């Protein structure tokens, strides 16, 4: 139990500082930070959905950053998004709540990023492609768990 608690604390601190780096000066940076803190403190059965909400918001943010031409910040946002997609996989439990909603959020984020990939510059494509692959894996795992029930 101590190992799991230490992992959650280290992950929360690491992703929190990375989230601060990828933040733009807008008001939604505080919303992301608040949601990130909420996900880190949530009971295990709620984490999967909260991580999916973070993935959705980060996909929107990365899209806005790429469209505005801020490739460096978009790359940071995509890296954080990949980390939270991994967290979704680790947060799926047999008693997780709102799995279907989490799957829908990840599907929407995947759709948004795949549309963005079609119009992205050649330099931005590897990060988008890696993020999409990781997101598709999380989405598949969510869908598998939804159909198990």
Task: pLDDT band for 94, please (50, 70, 90 cuts).
Answer: confident
Reported as a single tens digit per residue, the pLDDT across 26-75 is: 557 788 889 999 988 989 889 999 999 999 999 999 999 988 988 899 99
Q: 31: Cβ–Cβ under 8 A, 6 or more apart, which residues?
A: 57
pLDDT for position 8: 46
Helix axes 99-119, 125-148, angle to 10 degrees: 160
Residue entry with tokens 């494509």: 125
**What is the model's pLDDT at position 20?**
46
Q: In sequence order, which ranges of 22-124 are alpha helices (DSSP H)?
A: 28-41, 44-67, 71-91, 99-119
- 43 vs 4, higher pLDDT: 43
Give yes or no for a contact between 106 and 88, defined as CB atoms under 8 angstroms apart. yes
Q: Tell me what percent of the residues of the chain surpass a pLDDT of 70.
A: 82
Contacts of 95 (CB under 8 A, 6+ apart): 45
Q: pTM for the complete prediction?
A: 0.78
Q: Which residues contact 7 (CB under 8 A, 6 or more apart)?
A: none
Q: Are 55 and 88 in contact (CB under 8 A)?
A: yes
Say how far apart CA 98 and CA 120 lie, in whole Å.
Answer: 32
């Amino acid at each position: 139990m101590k190992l799991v608690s230490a992992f959650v604390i280290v992950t929360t601190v690491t992703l929190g500082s990375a989230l601060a780096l990828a933040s733009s000066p807008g008001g939604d940076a505080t919303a992301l930070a608040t949601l990130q803190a909420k996900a880190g403190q949530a009971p295990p059965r709620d984490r999967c959905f909260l991580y999916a909400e973070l993935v959705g918001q980060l996909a929107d943010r990365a899209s806005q950053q790429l469209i505005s031409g801020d490739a460096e910040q978009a790359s940071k946002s995509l890296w954080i998004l990949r980390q939270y997609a991994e967290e979704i996989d680790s947060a799926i439990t047999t008693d997780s709540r709102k799995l279907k909603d989490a799957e829908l959020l990840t599907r929407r984020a995947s759709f948004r990023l795949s549309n963005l990939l079609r119009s992205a510059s050649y330099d931005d494509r590897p990060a988008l492609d890696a993020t999409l692959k990781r997101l598709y894996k999380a989405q598949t795992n969510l869908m598998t768990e939804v159909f198990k029930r």
